[in-house]
Amino acid sequence: MSCFRWPPLKRKKKIVTLIPSSVLSVDSSLLEKTYKAGYLSRTLALYRIDEVIIYSDANSTNFDAKFLELILKYQVTPPHIKKKLFKKSRLLRYAGLLPPVRLPNHDPPKEARVGYILDGIIENCREGICHVFLGKLSEGILRIDGNISEGKIVTVKIHKIAGDKIYLKKSDWKDIYTGYKVRRSKGVEEITLRLSRDGYLVIGTSRLGSCITKDLINEIESKLTKKKGIALVIGGPYKGIDINKGTYDYVLNTVINQGTITVRSEEALISTLSILNLFTN
Q: Read off the pLDDT of residues 161-219 as tens digits, 9 standing for 90 and up.
A: 999 999 999 999 999 999 999 999 988 999 999 999 999 999 999 999 999 999 999 99
Q: Are strands 117-126 and 129-133 parallel, antiparallel or unpaired?
A: antiparallel
Give percent of the chain with pLDDT exceeding 70: 100
Contacting residues for 185 by C-beta, under 8 A, at least 6 apart: 18, 53, 54, 55, 56, 191
| pLDDT attached to residue 280 | 86
* pLDDT level of residue 243 (50, 70, 90 thresholds): confident
Looking at per-residue confidence, does 149 or 220 come out higher? Answer: 220
Residue 48, pLDDT > 90, answer yes
Q: Read off the pLDDT of residues 151-168 as tens digits, 9 standing for 90 and up.
A: 999 999 999 999 999 999
| pLDDT attached to residue 198 | 97
| pLDDT attached to residue 1 | 62
* pLDDT level of residue 147 (50, 70, 90 thresholds): confident
User: Stretch 135-142: mean pLDDT, rounded?
Assistant: 93
Question: Where are the domain boundaries for CATH 2.40.50.140 in the chain?
Answer: 108-170
Cβ atoms of residues 199 and 227 within 8 Å: yes
| pLDDT attached to residue 37 | 98
Give 240: exposed, middle or buried? Use CB within 10 Å, 0-12, 13-18, 19+: buried
Tell me the one-letter amino acid at 140.
G
If one looks up domain 108-170 in CATH, what number appears? 2.40.50.140
Distance set, CA 62 to CA 31, 54, 146 (Å): 18, 11, 38
Residue 279, pLDDT > 90, answer no
| pLDDT attached to residue 22 | 97
Residue 146, pLDDT > 80, answer no
If one looks up domain 14-102+177-276 in CATH, what number appears? 3.40.1280.10
Question: Where are the domain boundaries for CATH 3.40.1280.10 in the chain?
Answer: 14-102+177-276
Distance set, CA 20 to CA 55, 81, 160, 248, 253 (Å): 5, 28, 46, 16, 18
* pLDDT level of residue 281 (50, 70, 90 thresholds): confident
Distance set, CA 105 to CA 29, 72, 116, 156, 275 (Å): 31, 16, 11, 11, 26
Q: Read off the pLDDT of residues 50-104 as tens digits, 9 standing for 90 and up.
A: 999 999 999 999 999 999 999 999 999 999 999 999 999 999 999 999 999 999 9
Kindly report the pTM of this predicted structure.
0.95
User: Stretch 22-50: mean pLDDT, rounded?
Assistant: 98
Cβ atoms of residues 179 and 17 within 8 Å: no
Could you give the CA distance from residue 24 to residue 35 in angstroms, rounded to a whole number?
Answer: 10
| pLDDT attached to residue 138 | 86
